[in-house]
């Protein structure tokens, strides 16, 4: 809480108060390691080294110009006083002083313009670099990272945290420097003019600071409470916007308005508490500074009358008195924002430091030419055939044909070390086989597919792909060799065509349309306003769930890899369309290894092998007829859910 107490009379949150609430929200907080964070920030700014040096010089110039300009009040007023009673005063010296003063102010103004302009450059450029690095790093993070960090939290690093940081870079830091230089400059000049009056000012200053601490401290606790309440209100709004449909389904409008009013009232109380004290502080400070001014003026006048000081000195001293307290209050305000910004920077760097997905794999996927005797050679052109290329330590190269043979050997896995989800799972899928995974919700079906493409790594046991441990295969190449239709479909902003082409970026329009036909998506696409060129926005909100799934299947179809994983791909599609997709897919799937996860009997009954997963273990394996005969779990699952013909 100590940093809050340092706050000046203006108790408003920094230039960017907390927004968005939710998980990203934090009340006033201290950065953990200021030095380290600053060093990293400076490192980001090192391309602008020259500009920063100029900025620094300009900052000093601009603040010193202000200090020096004020000093010129002294000779000018003294000159004017000297003119009193003269008939034809000699104005040349006076005009020269005026000119010098004018030049000093002009230099100050030019320096101010220069540093503002340059800092804008430096701050926007630095922020661009930081954002690009953040985004790039985000792409390298393992799926596990997203399991443990909410969207709101990650988003707020890209928005709130970068915003506060930019603000502090472009304005906060320069302000801090000018305030410090001005403070020192003014103090020195006051000492030069009158040590006695300076002592008086310093005493008054201590009294003012004492008042700030006393009243500000009280205010601070309310201030923290206000930020927390604001966060709650924002979080609540956010949640209710997202959950609007559920609210309406259960007619909870009245209830949530009531809850919202309670939160809002809490915010009103803490807000009014914070601002009452801030409101008391402001007039007290203002009055104290008037008292200060009056005292200085009276004592100064007395000194002038008794000949200790000239009028001009008193005039510039009074001017300094007014400028003295400003940098102090400004610095104390900026200090808080600076701390908040550094804490934000730390969150940004923390994300950048999150370990990226490790890829120790060295086996790559290459286009292959297969001679009649079965020997494999690498080819530059697209041959439609693929091979795994392994370079041995001695430099020799060996190729293994990509066929799509997947084997699990005693695989043990849990999302958290302590909680096993897959327990000693072993199975095989021969090239071209269609394997169905069935089992109750939460049994571990999706988990199995997550391991094949290495979203996660096994804890023990191994997964062989064409005889190669998947951990030895480069992740990009591994994932390129499998297409996956995920359990929840995601569509990107873009046309329908773009979205299908996401599966393989170099696919021609004809290939995209052929894939759509295979997925049986062609029919509904042709009925969209602009057909394949219809824009999809907001994750395809303008499509039905089933249509979204059809696009996802088309996307996998256009990728046309040797292994296909369909996770509940047809759960929202009507039975007739599904049968049509089946026939299309059967064509596509020829010679491919396919994993299908489905709850529907019709989807899995023609599979070569059906595996029943229960509590992370395979409890039955066989084809449909065999499993029905067994009268085991499979039989139960489906006779319970579907009527068998």
Stretch that binds ligand ATP, among 270-278, 445-453, 510-518, 633-641 (CB under 6 A): 445-453
Among residues 561, 575, 593, 578, the alpha carbon closest in space to that of 480 is found at: 561
Under the criterion CB under 6 A, does residue 442 sit at the interface with ligand ATP? yes
Among residues 326, 306, 100, the alpha carbon closest in space to that of 194 is found at: 306
Between 40 and 149, CB nearer to ligand ATP: 149
Give min distance, CB of 433 to Mg ion, in A: 21
- Give me the phi and psi of 484, to 5 degrees please: -130, 130
| CA dihedral for 319, 321, 324, 326, sign (positive or negative) | negative
Give min distance, CB of 459 to ligand ATP, in A: 13
Under the criterion CB under 6 A, does residue 443 sit at the interface with ligand ATP? yes
Stretch that binds ligand ATP, among 13-21, 443-451, 489-497, 618-626 (CB under 6 A): 443-451
563, two tokens: 């292994």
Give the integer Cα–Cα distance in Å for 563 and 284.
75
Taking CB atoms, the residue at the shortest distance from Mg ion is 446
Instruction: Identify the bridge partners of residue 368 per DSSP, sorted by sequence position.
Output: 378
Please choose which of Mg ion, ligand ATP, none residue 467 contacts, taking the beta carbon within 5 to 8 angstroms, the exact cut-off set by kind: none
Binding mask 474-513 for Mg ion (x = CB under 5 A): -------------x--------------------------
Between 430 and 633, CB nearer to ligand ATP: 633
Between 52 and 613, CB nearer to Mg ion: 613
SS3 482: strand
Give the integer Cα–Cα distance in Å for 398 and 392.
8
Binding mask 427-466 for Mg ion (x = CB under 5 A): -------------------x--------------------
Task: Name 96's Cβ contacts closer than 8 Å, sequence gap at least 6.
Answer: none
Residue list 156-215, contact with ligand ATP (CB under 6 A)? none
Between 598 and 601, CB nearer to Mg ion: 598
Between 319 and 487, CB nearer to Mg ion: 487
Residue list 225-284, contact with ligand ATP (CB under 6 A)? none
Under the criterion CB under 6 A, does residue 445 sit at the interface with ligand ATP? yes
Under the criterion CB under 6 A, does residue 446 sit at the interface with ligand ATP? yes
Query: What is the distance of C-alpha 568 from the center of its chain?
Result: 31
> CA separation (Å) from 59 to 54, 64, 109, 327, 328?
8, 8, 11, 14, 17
Between 531 and 546, CB nearer to ligand ATP: 546
Please choose which of ligand ATP, Mg ion, none residue 231 contacts, taking the beta carbon within 5 to 8 angstroms, the exact cut-off set by kind: none
* Helix ranges (DSSP H) in 486-614: 496-501, 509-518, 522-526, 545-559, 575-589, 601-604
Helices 545-559 and 509-518, packing angle to 10 deg: 120
Residue list 373-432, contact with ligand ATP (CB under 6 A)? 415, 421
Under the criterion CB under 6 A, does residue 134 sit at the interface with ligand ATP? no
- Total count of residues recorded for the chain: 645
* Other Cβ atoms within 10 Å of 301 Cβ, number: 13
> CA separation (Å) from 8 to 15, 171, 177?
14, 18, 17
Site for ligand ATP (CB under 6 A): which residue of 327, 444, 503, 562? Answer: 444
Contacting residues toward ligand ATP, per CB under 6 A = 147, 415, 421, 439, 441-447, 487
Contacting residues toward Mg ion, per CB under 5 A = 446, 487
């Amino acid at each position: 809480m100590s940093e809050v107490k340092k706050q000046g009379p203006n108790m408003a949150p920094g230039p960017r108060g907390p927004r968005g609430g939710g998980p990203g929200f934090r009340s006033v907080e201290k950065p953990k390691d200021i030095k380290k964070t600053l060093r990293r920030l400076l490192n980001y700014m090192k391309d602008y080294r020259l500009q920063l040096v100029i900025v620094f010089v300009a900052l000093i110039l601009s603040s010193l110009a202000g200090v020096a300009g004020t000093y010129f009040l002294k000779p000018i007023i003294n000159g004017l006083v000297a003119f009193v009673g003269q008939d034809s005063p000699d104005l040349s010296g006076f005009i020269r002083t005026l000119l010098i003063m004018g030049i000093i102010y002009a230099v100050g103004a030019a320096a101010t313009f220069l540093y503002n302009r340059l800092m804008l450059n430096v701050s926007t450029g630095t922020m661009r670099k930081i954002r690009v690095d953040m985004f790039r790093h985000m792409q390298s993070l393992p799926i596990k990272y997203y399991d443990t960090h909410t969207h709101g939290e990650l988003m707020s690093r890209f928005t709130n945290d970068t915003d506060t940081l930019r603000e502090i870079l472009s304005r906060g830091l320069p302000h801090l420097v000018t305030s410090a230089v001005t403070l020192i400059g003014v103090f020195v000049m006051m000492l030069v003019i009158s040590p006695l009056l300076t002592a008086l000012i310093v005493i008054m200053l201590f009294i003012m600071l004492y008042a700030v601490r006393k009243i500000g401290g009280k205010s601070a606790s309310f201030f923290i409470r206000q930020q927390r309440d604001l966060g709650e209100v924002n979080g609540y709004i956010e949640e209710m916007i997202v959950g609007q449909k559920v609210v309406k389904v259960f007619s909870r409008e009245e209830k949530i308005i009531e809850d919202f009013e309670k939160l809002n009232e809490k915010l009103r109380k803490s807000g009014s508490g914070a601002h009452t004290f801030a409101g008391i502080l402001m007039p007290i400070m203002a009055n104290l500074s008037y008292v200060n001014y009056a005292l200085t003026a009276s004592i100064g006048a007395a000194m002038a009358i008794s000949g200790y000081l000239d009028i001009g000195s008193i005039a510039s001293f009074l001017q300094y008195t007014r400028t003295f307290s400003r940098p102090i209050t400004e610095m104390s305000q900026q200090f808080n924002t600076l701390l908040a910004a550094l804490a934000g920077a730390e969150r940004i760097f923390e994300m950048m430091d999150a370990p990226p997905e490790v890829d120790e794999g060295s086996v790559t996927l290459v286009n292959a030419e297969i001679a009649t005797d079965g020997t494999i050679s690498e080819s530059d052109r697209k041959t439609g055939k693929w091979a795994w290329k392994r370079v041995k330590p001695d430099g020799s190269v060996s190729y293994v044909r990509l066929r799509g043979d997947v084997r699990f050997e005693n695989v043990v896995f849990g999302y958290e070390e302590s909680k096993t989800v897959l327990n000693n799972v072993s199975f095989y899928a021969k090239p071209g086989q269609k394997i169905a995974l069935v089992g109750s919700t939460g049994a571990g079906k999706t988990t199995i597919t997550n391991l094949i493409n290495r979203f996660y790594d096994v804890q023990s046991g191994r997964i062989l792909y064409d005889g190669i441990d998947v951990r030895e295969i480069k992740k990009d190449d591994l994932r390129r060799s499998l297409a996956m239709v995920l359990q929840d479909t995601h569509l990107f902003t873009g046309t329908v065509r773009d979205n299908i082409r996401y599966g393989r970026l170099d696919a021609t329009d004809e290939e995209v349309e052929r894939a759509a036909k295979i997925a049986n998506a062609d029919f509904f696409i042709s009925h969209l306003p602009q057909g394949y060129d219809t824009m999809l926005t907001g994750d395809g909100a303008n499509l039905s769930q089933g249509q979204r799934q059809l696009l996802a299947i088309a996307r996998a179809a256009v990728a046309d890899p040797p292994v296909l994983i369909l996770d509940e791909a047809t759960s929202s599609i009507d039975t007739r369309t599904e049968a049509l997709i089946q026939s299309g897919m059967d064509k596509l799937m020829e010679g491919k290894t396919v994993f299908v996860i489905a709850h529907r009997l019709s989807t899995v009954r023609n599979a070569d092998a059906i595996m029943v997963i229960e509590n992370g273990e395979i409890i039955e394996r066989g084809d449909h007829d065999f499993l029905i005969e067994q009268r085991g779990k499979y039989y139960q699952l489906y006779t319970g859910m579907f009527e068998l013909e």
